[in-house]
A = this chain, B = another copy of it.
Amino acid sequence: MYENLLQHVSRRINLDKEEEKLFISLLQHQKLRKKQFLCKEGEVCKYSGYVLKGCLRTYELDEQGNEHVLQFSIEDWWVGDLYSFFTETPSRYYVDALEPTELALIDLASQELMYEKIPKFERYFRILIQNAFIASQRRVISAISKPAEERYLEFHQRYPTLEQRIPQHQIASYLGITPESLSRIRKQLSNRKY
């Protein structure tokens, strides 16, 4: 059931069988149907989740009620609001399922237990967060410096599989443009190709 997750860990650090067992024992399995929430704004995000199957989105709702997608999470990614999770304060984000989804959840106490019992777990998460941070910084640069078409092309090239699975208007939201604009951009690009 957790083969992928254990492999994901073992690509970064080496766990012996005992350690693997401890880790697994701390996980909870959860299924979400489409549109179900992993967590909501105003609630403490109690879990970090490893996506076993499916796809989720993390988004913020602004005062006018518009959704702004912070990220998509598919198989073999961790999902959750890190800030809310670690500080146990109310989250500013919603996380919901775009597809039927299965997760391996870990709560804060368990995560801290892991850090204590198996210090190299710090390394595992340090590496993951470091990569996420690097990617986030690149997205900042894109967002502040590049026109919509270029941002779309970057997304298209970096996440070709995501683009298949996810409705266009969600991608538009991730890119910071309206669905109408993305539709026009795609049209222009496909005209230009021929």
Interface residue stretch chosen among A14-22, A125-133, A160-168: A125-133
Interface residue stretch chosen among A3-11, A37-45, A49-57, A135-143: A135-143
User: B130 to A86, Cβ gap below 8 A?
Assistant: yes
User: B130 to A60, Cβ gap below 8 A?
Assistant: no
Chain B positions within 8 Å of A139 at CB level: 140
A46 at the interface (CB under 8 A from B): no
Interface residue stretch chosen among A25-33, A97-105, A114-122, A182-190: A114-122
9 closest A-B pairs by CB: A144-B176, A143-B143, A126-B126, A122-B122, A133-B133, A136-B136, A68-B145, A83-B134, A122-B123
Given contacts A136-B137, A144-B176, 10 further A-B contacts (CB under 8 A): A62-B145, A71-B137, A86-B130, A119-B123, A122-B123, A126-B126, A132-B133, A136-B136, A140-B143, A143-B143
- If A122-B123, A145-B176 touch, does A70 touch B140 (CB 8 Å cutoff)? yes
Chain B positions within 8 Å of A86 at CB level: 130
Chain B positions within 8 Å of A83 at CB level: 134
Query: Which of A68, A130, A137, A139 counts the most B-chain CB atoms under 10 A from its CB?
Result: A137
A191 at the interface (CB under 8 A from B): no
Chain B positions within 8 Å of A109 at CB level: none
A86 to B141, CA, bound (A): 20
User: B129 to A70, Cβ gap below 8 A?
Assistant: no
Chain B positions within 8 Å of A125 at CB level: 126
Chain B positions within 8 Å of A115 at CB level: 123
A17 to B71, CA, bound (A): 43
Chain B positions within 8 Å of A71 at CB level: 137
A175 at the interface (CB under 8 A from B): yes
Chain B positions within 8 Å of A113 at CB level: none
